Structure 1
Amino acid sequence: MTPLDFLLEPLQYGFMVRALVTTTIAAVVCALLSCWLVLTGWSLMGDAVSHAVLPGVVLAYLVGAPFALGALVFGFLAVALIGAIRDTSRVKEDAAIGIVFTTLFALGLVLISVIPSQTDLTHIVFGNILGVSDGDLLQIGVLAAVAFVVLIVKRRDLTLYAFDPTHAHAIGLSPRRLGALLLGLLALTSVVALQVVGVILVVAMLIIPGATAYLLTDRFGRMLVIAPVLSASCSVVGIMVSFWLDASSGGLVILVQGIAFALAYLGSPRQGLLVRAFRRRRHASTHA
């Protein structure tokens, strides 16, 4: 077997092709959104929404509805509950986030535990990318397309909101509405990534690409290009490696993204830890 045959072998299987397409779609839209999440400091909010959709998925299964519908309902519910607790009590936002997402996630775990034993919903928690059907692929593609189009159309307003909400308000934009839009897109995107890596690892796809791109460039426009390209590339590598190693596909996708972040953290031309250390040493030797 030639090296090329070895590389192309996974593409001979339909489930691998669907896994690659689905993961790439999810990776691109998650990476785009992650750029704004990193700038606004909403990493914890991404964690909250991604975990809070679990009971919605379980309930949707029980009534025979699409998983995405239940996940969307509980994603928006989580956002509404966090906002209500923050605005109507002395509890701060970070505490409200912790209360809502842990409670809803626990509810989902309880629901899973009481479902008949022949029903296996653990793939919702840990992901089941190799089991994606054509219907799942269509559903993920439609949801991702909606999120992608809205992000592209509203990118200028969302960027201004992320950098300077006061200025956004001064020119007639509503920071509250833009924040609500971003949260809605977060809920929608969490559903897109749910099938790929499961509830637990969704937050990684929503944070790591944007954080990595943030280390590689100082321009937000470039972040919006670097993050999706990097995320999609890491996803393809992760899926392919999972085939050869017979290991967790979702786990390897996130692991490869984590390795990419570590490389950027150490070797970024401007922000890299090793690069900065080298520059300090060179500067010290020059002025010695």
Structure 2
Amino acid sequence: MTWLPDALQYEFFQRALLGCLLVGFTNGFLSAYIILRRLALLADALSHSLLPGLAAGAIFFGLAPAGLFVGALVAGVLVCLGGVLISRSSRLKDEAAIGALYTMAFALGILLLRYSSVRVDLEHFLFGNILGLSDFDLWMNYAISLLIVGLLVVLHRPLLLTLFEPSVAQSQGVPVNALQLLLMAMIVLAMISSLQAVGVVLSLGLLILPGATLYLLSDDFGVIAWGGGILGAAGSCAGLFLSHWLDVSSGPVIVMVLGACFIASYLFSPKYGIVTRLLRPPHLHEQSYERWGTKNQRDHPRIAASVAADAKNKADAPASENARPSA
């Protein structure tokens, strides 16, 4: 077991730390859009669809990082476009079409890796190895992070309008379909950048958990996006140090650190935490309204119907309304 300051003297650990900062912040920042757009299932499908591209890249180009990057990118784009094509030419929805394609792609990737002439450690692709980050991987992460964060900042308002009011955005001339495809492309790029850190299987956790955690803590979109980026970077670095101290694989530890933050926010969020709501006394207005409704609803059917409708609307209110962008 090596003391952590000593580990920072090694160049491979410095590259791993920089990679965690870049990958964690980029995935955490993008996570806000995925959570609010409810694209978690799509992101899961895309993460598994990268495996056949990695396998094809290893077969045709060897284990060169550039070949693996191109293979994963082509596989992710093909699954995206294939899902859109199938959904628009059949009765299937986007989720069903992409779900069918990604399971086929994942199975094909496993078969290619198992029976190809190239000997590759399957666990390396599935769970990642951030300590094996090369200079090319690091520069690729720089480029992907700059591209994704830059696009999200520049296209902030049209993307939010597309997320919450697509019909209004279309009436104002916003290219809704193009922005949705661009968002899918950014998801693919973010997952490719995180493959070396957490692998194909765990890349979804790095892309979902930061935004989900901040979504339980704040209603402000800016806080969710930037806070998700900071949490993703901090959690990735903490997971790297913890995995080095425990002498275990870094990918699962990074996801577990972010998962612990999510569970803590789920339980103890000041506004939405389960434990917090159990311990917090009801508001005086809520108590008086409940007593008033109980007292009068027997004698006044209209009041009873109003109270019941109000309770139903409160229970069925979509969670996404709480995270509308602030002015």
Superposed pair shares fold, TM > 0.5: yes
Question: Which has the higher mean CA deviation after the structures are superposed, 117-126 or 68-77?
Answer: 117-126
Which shows bigger deviation, 225-234 or 112-121? 112-121
* AA of the residue aligned to 1:177: A
Q: What's the counterpart of residue 53 of structure 2?
A: 56
Change (3 A) 1:280 1:98: farther
Residue aligning to 2:294: none
Q: 1:163-221 CA deviation, whole Å, 9 max, x = no partner?
A: 11111112110211111111111111111111110000011111111111111110101
Structure 2 runs not aligned, ≥5 long: 292-327
Q: Which runs of 5+ in 1 are unaligned?
A: none
Distance in 2 (CA, whole Å) between partners of 1:250 and 1:119 is: 18
CA apart distance, 1:117: 6.5
Conserved? CA contact 1:10–1:240, under 8 Å: no
Q: Where does residue 109 of structure 1 map in the other structure?
A: 110
Letter matched to residue 29 of structure 1: T
How high is the sequence identity, in percent, across the aligned residues? 37
Q: In the alignment, which residue of structure 2 is the partner of 1:45?
A: 42
Distance 1:105 1:185 in 2: 20
Alignment partner, residue 27 of structure 2: 30
Judge conservation of contact 1:32–1:227 (CA < 8 Å) in 2.
Answer: yes
Question: Quick one: distance in 1 between partners of 2:123 and 2:250?
Answer: 15
Output aligned runs, 1:204-283, within 5 Å.
204-280=205-281
**How far apart in 2 are the matches of 1:281 and 1:167?**
38
1:177 corresponds to: 178
- Name the SS of the counterpart of 1:216 in structure 2: coil
Give the C-alpha shift of residue 146 in structure 1.
1.5
Residues 30, 205 of structure 1: 8 Å contact kept: yes
Structure 2 CA distance, aligned partners of 1:98 and 1:224? 27
Name the larger-Rg structure: 2
Post-superposition offset of 1:53? 0.9
For 1:49-88, list aligned pairs within 5 A.
49-64=46-61, 65-88=66-89
CA distance in 1, matches of 2:205, 2:87: 25
- Superposed CA offset, 1:82-109 (max 9, x none): 1111111112222212201111011100
Seen in structure 2, the aligned counterparts of structure 1 residues 118 and 79 have a Cα distance that, compared at 3 Å, is closer
8 Å Cα contact 2:31-2:225 kept in structure 1: no
Q: Distance in 1 between matches of 2:180 and 2:277?
A: 35
| 2:297 equivalent in structure 1 | none
Distance 1:136 1:34 in 2: 22
| SS class of match (1:116) | coil
| Residues paired across the two proteins, number | 283
Check the 8 A contact 2:129/2:249 in 1, yes or no. Answer: no
Deviations 1:11-65, CA, capped at 9 Å, x for gaps:
1222211111101101111111110010011100000111101111111122215
1:16 aligns with 2:17: no
Q: What's the TM-score, normalizing by structure 1?
A: 0.93
CA distance in 2 between partners of 1:140 and 1:229 (Å): 16
In structure 2, what is the equivalent of residue 139 of structure 1? 140
SS in 2 for 1:247: coil
- Paired AA for residue 226 in structure 1: G
2:187 corresponds to which residue?
186
Per the normalisation by structure 2, the TM-score is: 0.82
Give RMSD over aligned pairs.
2.0
Distance 1:141 1:99 in 2: 33
Q: Distance in 2 between matches of 1:60 and 1:118?
A: 13
Counterpart in 1 of 2:312? none
Q: Conserved in 2, the CA contact under 8 Å of 1:19 and 1:130? A: yes
Tell me the equivalent position of 2:322.
none
Q: How far did 1:281 drift?
A: 6.9
